[in-house]
Amino acid sequence: MPTEPMPGAGATPTAEELLTSINELCEAYALARSTRALAQHAETPAEYDNLTARAEHWELSVRTRFDALADTVEAAFPRGARIEAFLPVRVLPNGHVEIHARDQHTRPVVLALSGPEAVTVGVHLTAYAAIGLDRTGTKVDRVLPPMITDPPPATTTDARPGGPAALMTAGPAAPARGVATAPAGHRRHA
């Protein structure tokens, strides 16, 4: 009964090594089940004891092979794939941009771009998205957020609350320094 680790233990196994280990596990499992079934149909106590001992041998082999295979698979393909704590795109302190994605085999891929490269990729993605939407009959203006058509509310005052200007006017006090106030009738158009 082999109890040595899988070939290439410690390193990522090749697909062929992994398939060989899976086939050996399946063969040991089939032998354990069939030998256990044969033991149930034994005609003599000696034959029953012999087949039961063989079945126990193969069952032990199955457990050993399964444990080795599970350790290898978990080392090669770790569990716990999670949603990233940050957005799939983030800006790094050095001005570069990281894009986090997964390939067709769900392996994580990180693409690091400089600022100009990120802008170029963004422009191309936007253009290709617009082309794709147009080809499906969706108009781009339906998926874009609404634009604000009124001038921006940039009204601020330099007067201190309760200062001389506030004392001379009747009515509510002027807003605090640096607080923007929206002009009357300002609305966001959809």
Divide the 190 residues of the chain into consecutive groups of 10 and give the mean pLDDT of each group: 49 82 91 93 94 94 91 71 60 86 74 87 83 82 73 60 48 48 48
pLDDT at 108: 77
Helix (H) or strand (E) holding 108: strand 108-113
Give the pair of three-digit tokens for residue 32: 């354990």
Residue 52: burial class (beta carbons within 10 Å; 0-12, 13-18, 19+): middle
Give the pair of three-digit tokens for residue 187: 């609305």
pLDDT at 84: 52
Identify whether 50 is part of a domain.
yes
Structural domain including 38 reads 15-76
Angle, helices 15-40 vs 45-76, to 10°: value is 160
pLDDT at 178: 46
pLDDT at 66: 92
Identify whether 29 is part of a domain.
yes
Q: Give the Cα separation of 116 and 100 in Å (integer).
A: 18
Smallest CA-to-CA distance from 66 within 29, 92, 108 is with 29
Which phi and psi angles does 159 have, rounded to 5°? -80, 140
Q: Give the Cα separation of 71 and 69 in Å (integer).
A: 5
Same domain, 66 and 101: no
pLDDT at 167: 46
* Counted domains in the chain: 2
- Which single residue is written with the structure tokens 């203006």? 141
Identify whether 127 is part of a domain.
yes
Whole-prediction pTM value?
A: 0.40
Identify whether 172 is part of a domain.
no
pLDDT at 73: 80
Q: Give the Cα separation of 12 and 151 in Å (integer).
A: 61
Same domain, 19 and 72: yes
What 8-state DSSP symbol labels residue 101?
E
Same domain, 70 and 93: no
Same domain, 97 and 51: no
pLDDT at 62: 93
Identify whether 180 is part of a domain.
no
Same domain, 72 and 97: no
